[in-house]
Every structure is written in C-alpha cells, then in structure tokens.
Amino acid sequence: MNPTILDVVKKEMTKLLVIGIIYPISDSQWVSLVQVVPKKSRMTVMKNQHDELVPMRIQNSWQSWKKLAGKSHYCFMDGFFGYMQIHIALEDQHKTTFTCPFGTFAYTYMPFALCNALSTFQRCMTSIFSDLLQECMEVFMDDFTVYADSFDACLENLSKVLMRCIDTNLVLNFEKCHFTVTEGIVLGHLVSNRGIEVDKAKVDNITSLPNPTFVRKVRSFLGHVGFYKRFIKNFIKIALPLCKLLQKDELKNRFTSAPILQAPNWELPFELMCDASNSALGAVLG
C-alpha cells in the first residue's frame, strides 16, 4: 500500500476497534486481504477481498420506480454504516477474519462485501418494513424512500418509518437524509410528480466518455447507455452497429467448435437447404 492509503487504513482500523465493530484475533483458520474502496462521501470502506455475489432483487426496480413516480413529496434516507448494523453470530465471526499491516482482525457486525451480505441486508430491511412497503415507502438496501401525495401525508408516513427505526434500533445517517422534498434520485433515476427521468449527472458522464477503441470498451459503453434504454426509442436498432462489433468473439467460439466435414456419398440422393435474412444468405447441399 502507498503511504496515503496506509494512513487511511490505520484511521479506519482505529475507529472500528473503538466502536467494537472489529476485534483482534489470532487463532482463525480463515483470513483474507483487506481492500480499500473510495466513496463519494470521502469516507473509505475497507472490505474483505472476495468477489461479491450480487443477489437477485427481491422486487422489480422498474415497478418500484413507477410506484414512486407522480408523488408530490418524498423523504430520502440512508442507513448509517450500512450493513454494519447487523450482528454476526459469535460462532461465525472468525469467518470474517482479515489481515492488514496493523494486524489480523474479525468483525462482530456484518461488513461490506461478504458474499451473502447484500441479500441478508435486503431481507432484513424487507422484514422490518414489510407492512409499509408498496404502501408508503420503498427500500433498496440501505436507501429508504418515503412518498405521499401531500405534504401532511408525507409527514405522517415519515413518522411511521422513523418509529419503526426506533423500535428496531435501525440508525440513519442524518447527513444523507432529505425530508419532504419534491424530487430526488433513486437508483440512478430522477423521480418526481412529473414521472421518471434520467439522472442528468449520469448522462453527462456518458456523453463525456471517449470513443471506444477496442471490444471491452465497446461492451462497457453499451452497458452504460443500456441502463437508460427505456428512455430511447428504437434503442436496439440504434445500438445494432455497435453490437455487431462484439461478434468477433462469436466467430472465435465457432472456430473452437467447428463441425467435421465429410466427403459426399454420391450413391445417396442430395437435398438443397437454403436460408436468407436481411443481412445474410446461405445454402447447404447435403
């Protein structure tokens, strides 16, 4: 690690030790390296260096966006310290062991990037707010959105959600909360009484991307623009020329599984098979 990152890790380790989220451990059979992930808030998250498994969403995001759209007032709230509000069973804590230049430690609370952390946290939040979901709020991991058709109704719904947080010891990050506003960003989309719109900041990022010069960049660009394909009429038709640039990999795969050609048996009858499309035609004599 470079000195700057090392200093960040030391400060984060000290903070987590003081508040009891991690503790030193020396007899664990499990261990992984620490990985530093920068955040927009200038905070830094340390996570165990494992590939994160993305669970299937419990609810359809587009259906939730449609539920939020057209409301007059919203409250957007964020869970404090994210997943680290969920306790890890004592007998499983050693499985979260990680090492860094300052020692070897294990978590008492669920850290970011454990393979089942996302699905576990979503199930927990869904269980806590089960009777309020689809009625006055939506939950996306640690992002909570309260909505209503009037200012007073929004305050009433907010009160229900906050009381539920108190009852379940769920802590919110006040600095990231926005109360009784008329619009806001939810999963990369702007929701308001007008409906669902694209996030202009993300659009600016897309339009500033350099022209792709190789296949991986083309695939990455298609992934970026595909996020908003619902807003672009004939998106597939427009993107087709770029999609065709990815087909060289298909040709490579076909070569690795090429069929075996045989010489014709002139004593058997022949059958001519033809096929054509807007972009190709072919015939086989077999």
Tokens coding 153: 């109704």
**Residue 279 maps to a domain:** no
Write down the pTM of the prediction: 0.70
Angle of CA points 276, 279, 281, to nearest 5°: 30
CA distance 151 to 21: 39
Tell me: do 193 and 204 sit in the same domain: no
Tell me the range of 52-56, 161-165, 193-197 where mean pLDDT is highest.
161-165
> How much is the pLDDT for 56?
36
Is 210's pLDDT higher than 70? yes
Domain total in the chain = 2
Q: Which pLDDT tens digit goes with each residue over 25-84?
A: 988 888 888 877 766 544 444 455 444 333 333 445 667 778 898 999 999 999 988 778
What burial class does residue 211 get, using C-beta atoms within 10 Å of its C-beta: 0-12 exposed, 13-18 middle, 19+ buried? Answer: exposed
What is the DSSP annotation of 166-182? HHTT--B-GGG-EEEES
> How much is the pLDDT for 171?
93
Is 240's pLDDT higher than 60? yes
Instruction: Decide: 31 and 79 in contact? Cβ < 8 Å.
Output: no
Read off the pLDDT of each residue in 170-193 and give the average, rounded to a whole number: 93
Instruction: Decide: 193 and 71 in contact? Cβ < 8 Å.
Output: yes
CA 139 to chain centre: 14
> How much is the pLDDT for 173?
92
Tell me: do 219 and 133 sit in the same domain: no
Is 170's pLDDT higher than 90? yes
**Residue 260 maps to a domain:** no
Which one is predicted more confidently, 244 or 74? 74
DSSP 26: S
Tell me: do 209 and 227 sit in the same domain: yes
CA distance 201 to 184: 13
> How much is the pLDDT for 261?
59
Tell me: do 67 and 142 sit in the same domain: yes
Last residue of a domain, one of 164, 198, 232: 198
Sequence letter at residue 6: L
> How much is the pLDDT for 151?
97
Tell me: do 87 and 224 sit in the same domain: no
Give the domain range for residue 184: 3-198
**Binning pLDDT at 50, 70 and 90, where does residue 270 land?**
confident
Tell me: do 28 and 81 sit in the same domain: yes
Please enumerate, as own/partner, the contacts of 130-133 that have beta carbons within 8 Å and a separation of 24 or more. Answer: 132/157, 132/160, 132/161, 132/164, 133/59
> How much is the pLDDT for 174?
92
Tell me: do 206 and 142 sit in the same domain: no
Angle of CA points 261, 263, 266, to nearest 5°: 140
**Residue 92 maps to a domain:** yes
Q: Give the Å distances, CA to CA, from 97 to 103, 116, 129, 239, 257.
A: 11, 16, 31, 45, 44
Nearest to 157 by CA among 143, 174, 138: 138
Tell me: do 150 and 181 sit in the same domain: yes
**Residue 107 maps to a domain:** yes
> How much is the pLDDT for 50?
45
Is 254's pLDDT higher than 70? no
Read off the pLDDT of each residue in 107-130 and give the average, rounded to a whole number: 88
CA distance 198 to 179: 22
**Residue 11 maps to a domain:** yes
Tell me: do 193 and 164 sit in the same domain: yes
CATH number at residue 83: 3.30.70.270
Read off the pLDDT of each residue in 2-16 and give the average, rounded to a whole number: 86
DSSP alpha helix (H) spans, the chain: 3-18, 61-68, 117-128, 151-167, 200-207, 215-226, 235-244, 248-256
**Residue 284 maps to a domain:** no
> How much is the pLDDT for 152?
97
Q: Which pLDDT tens digit goes with each residue over 120-136?
A: 898 999 999 999 998 99
